[in-house]
Chain A
Amino acid sequence: MSHSTKKDEILHDHNHDGIDRRGFLKCMAWAGTGALCVIHGGVLKSYSLSHLDTIGEREAKGDLSFVQISDSHLGFNKPANPDVAATFKAAVDKINALPVPPEFMLHTGDISHLSKAEEFDAVEQILKSAKPKDIFYVPGEHDVLNDECAQFRQRFAKGSQGAGWQSFEKKGVHFIGLVNVMNLKAGGMGSLGAEQLEWLEKDVKHLPKSTPIVVFAHIPLWSVYPEWGWGTEDSAQALGYLKKFGSVTVLNGHIHQTMQKVEGNIMFHTAASTAFPQPKPGAAPAPGPMKVPDNQLRGLLGVTDVKHVQGQQALAVVDSSLT
């Protein structure tokens, strides 16, 4: 299908690097309401979710479709959202209502608020109603309180390495779950650690350059806002191992808002929380839960739907709010 240029479609590549910077700005501006960004053959196209009818069937369906959820914080009960179970259920309903059922889900951490058994139980109970049965998790700092990650690994990451890192293949796409919430150093940010980095290097060493890579981890692997610790100390080394690949997508949570950035071959994306929003970087004295009017809350929570079309350069990432 060929795309005619519509009002909300962007098709520029001034630097011949496959990235339209103005396009990304526009894409980011839509993040609150939902946007679809697709890179085909090195050229970015982005669409408002209100114009999904302009996207061809092949792009909309893709060969592989999965969903990212994040920061469910089951157990949180403060004014920013006194019922995080209800909004988490709403996220699952949203996923179940997708026109093409996703093959699996990723949860990018802060599953629970306080690593309590009953909080993890509640998450598992709610996820039983999700259509995708295959769910892959990485821990957030809230999931590893007081027990060095033992409960998280036992429940959500059996067979993983170290503190829960893992990789797997889905239809030719190589997925890598990384853990960057353990052994954090005073004054620092997220941390992967030498052992995990060594594992990562070996994990991708023998993959062909054409393999699409999806990395998922809790804390952003790019420096969103170091002043609030929104970044990962040793992410540059990890991303260095991924430089040879044509398409790398990095999915994170932690900052409770959607944000995107492209750097070379890597597209970074953070997902909204299903529990409560957090302020934009530097927009408040601290990154704590943000109380918004009740009728605005669900518009700031959400899920991310990701599609991969075989033979295409990159993945399409769609954010949708719970409204």
Chain B
Amino acid sequence: MKRVWRIAGVVAALVIGSALAVGLQIPLAKTPGGVHAGGGAAVSAAEVKIDNFTFAPAMLTVAVGTQVTWINRDDIPHTVVSEDQAIKSKALDTDDKFTFTFTKAGTYTYFCSLHPKMKGKVVVE
């Protein structure tokens, strides 16, 4: 599962990269890295790494319905919290993950409530 998500993350990053390069919007649900949730509907996945007190990528663009997983690669715990608290992880220790499914289009800004200089953004289209 971890491997699939990683591949998905890479594919998503590549797709976003090309989308930005040519100015196109490509719905990520159609990418081959998607995993299938119960019920048979295709769900795409993306990953944000927390490393060296930064969210990478700091800005992620995904399609509605995408599951985004944050994984903490630091020796220090971090959190993922949106300013309106709609997204709120527990403290993530090293290698802990937090997943949130974005069901509505919009721009979601979040930060680490322990190290608030760490900020990130998810754009859901």
* A contact set with B: CB distance below 8 Å: 76, 78, 80, 113-115, 141-142, 145-146, 184-189, 227-229, 285-289
Contact = CB atoms under 8 A, between A and B. Distances in A.
A186 B119 contact: yes
Contacts of B109: 186
Interface in B69-125: 74-77, 83, 90-91, 93-94, 109-111, 113-117, 119
A287 to B, nearest CB: 7
B93 to A, nearest CB: 6
B116 A229 contact: yes
A189 B91 contact: no
Contacts of B94: 78
B44 interface: no
B91 A146 contact: yes
Contacts of A287: 53
B116 A185 contact: yes
Nearest to A79: B75
Contacts of A186: 83, 109-111, 116, 119
Given A145-B91, A229-B116, A80 B53 contact: no
Contact of A184 (B53, B110, B113): B113
A115 B75 CA distance: 15
Nearest to B83: A186
A145 B77 contact: yes
A124 B54 CA distance: 34
Contacts of A114: 77, 91, 93
B54 A184 contact: no
Nearest to B75: A78
Contacts of A228: 53, 117
A142 B119 contact: no
Given A145-B90, A189-B116, A229-B117, A288 B77 contact: no
B62 to A, nearest CB: 20
Nearest to A185: B116
Contacts of B90: 145-146
Nearest to B90: A146
